[in-house]
């Protein structure tokens, strides 16, 4: 195809619009302002100082840093500084004689006696220095207590708070006797482990169990964890965060208010009813 000699309608219309806009800009004085601005910009660029070229950095030939292990040293110097055992240097080595038969058992017995003495001394220190402060800070609340003590406090399986109980006859929390049990914490007759330690508040609110006085009188009391493992009560589970995570169940948080609004005695009864409905 050859080149078209005449302009198309679009090009002619475009040229007419361009000429019309240029005439309007000249009438408004925009062309004159544009020329003046370009002159000012060119003048300022000519007055500006030329940019200096960066000076090349002179790299001095400093000696290389090398480890003393890699530097070639003389044989005498290396022999004097080299670490060698006494056997390789030709020196006599004296070996310690082994203890006679039965001496190890005697040493173990002595260590056990020293450990018992240390525990007794620790109990005396706690009894002297902390009893007065404990009596001043200890509250009368029989729920979870309000005084945290990492030495005398026993950790609850659910709330995991090492707080002193508010029981009047508790010699551990009241008198600072480490050898005595805490009367404000439960003890499972089956496992005797940390899973069976619950405070009064968690025992009632989370599991709906009997009062602490009844639990202490019942020598065959079993913790919720052991009841779950032995299958004594169907659909009964321990609702602590540890046990729920093992079952891949999210922890409930503070669910006692929702449980009581729905008519349940505790959070454990609420979860037991949910598991029943899921099974059927």
How does residue 1 score in pLDDT terms, banded at 50, 70 and 90? Answer: very low
Q: If we measure between CA atoms, which residue out of 86, 89, 108, 87 comes closest to residue 99?
A: 108
Number of Cβ within 10 Å of residue 209's Cβ equals: 21
pLDDT, position 59: 53
The answer to whether the predicted template modeling score (pTM) of the entire model surpasses 0.85 is no
Percent of the chain clearing pLDDT 90 (strictly above): 11
Name the one residue in this structure whose structure tokens are 């405070």.
199
By CB neighbour count within 10 A (0-12 exposed, 13-18 middle, 19+ buried), where does 266 fall? buried
Tokens of 280: 């059927």
Percent of the chain clearing pLDDT 70 (strictly above): 61
> Residue 187 in contact with residue 143, Cβ under 8 Å?
no
How does residue 222 score in pLDDT terms, banded at 50, 70 and 90? Answer: very high
Q: Which residue has the higher pLDDT, 122 or 185?
A: 185
Q: If we measure between CA atoms, which residue out of 180, 178, 192, 187 comes closest to residue 216?
A: 187
pLDDT, position 170: 85
pLDDT, position 75: 47
Find all residues with CB under 8 Å of 200, minimum gap 6, and list them: 142, 143, 144, 165, 184, 211, 212
Tokens of 162: 């090492």
How does residue 157 score in pLDDT terms, banded at 50, 70 and 90? Answer: very high
Distance CA 204, CA 101 (A): 57
For the segment 108-153, what is each residue's pLDDT rounded down to a tens digit?
666 666 666 555 554 444 555 666 666 666 555 555 566 788 888 8
**Is the pLDDT confidence value at 11 over 50?**
yes
pLDDT, position 198: 92
> Residue 262 in contact with residue 270, Cβ under 8 Å?
yes
């Amino acid at each position: 195809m050859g080149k078209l000699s005449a302009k198309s309608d679009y090009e002619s219309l475009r040229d007419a619009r361009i000429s019309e806009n240029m005439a309007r800009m000249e009438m408004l004085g925009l062309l004159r302002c544009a020329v003046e601005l370009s002159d000012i910009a060119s003048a300022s660029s000519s007055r500006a100082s030329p940019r200096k070229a960066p000076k090349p950095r002179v790299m001095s030939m400093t000696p290389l840093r090398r480890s003393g292990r890699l530097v070639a040293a003389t044989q005498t110097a290396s022999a004097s500084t080299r670490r060698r055992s006494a056997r390789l240097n030709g020196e006599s080595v004296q070996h310690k004689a082994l203890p006679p038969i039965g001496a190890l058992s005697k040493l173990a017995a002595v260590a056990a006696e020293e450990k018992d003495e240390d525990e007794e001394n620790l109990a005396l220190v706690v009894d002297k220095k902390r009893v007065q402060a404990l009596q001043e800070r200890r509250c009368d609340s029989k729920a979870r207590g309000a005084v945290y003590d990492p030495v005398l406090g026993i950790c609850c399986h659910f709330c995991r708070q090492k707080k002193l109980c508010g029981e009047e006859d508790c010699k551990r929390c009241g008198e600072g006797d480490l050898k005595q049990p805490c009367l404000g914490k439960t003890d499972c007759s089956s496992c005797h482990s940390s899973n069976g330690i619950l405070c009064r508040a968690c025992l009632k609110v989370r599991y709906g169990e009997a009062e602490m006085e009844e639990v202490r009188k019942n020598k065959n009391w079993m913790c919720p964890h052991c009841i779950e493992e032995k299958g004594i009560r169907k659909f009964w589970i321990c609702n602590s965060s540890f046990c729920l995570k093992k079952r891949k169940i999210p922890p409930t948080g503070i669910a006692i208010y929702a449980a009581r609004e729905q008519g349940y005695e505790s959070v454990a009864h609420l979860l037991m009813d949910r598991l029943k409905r899921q099974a059927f």
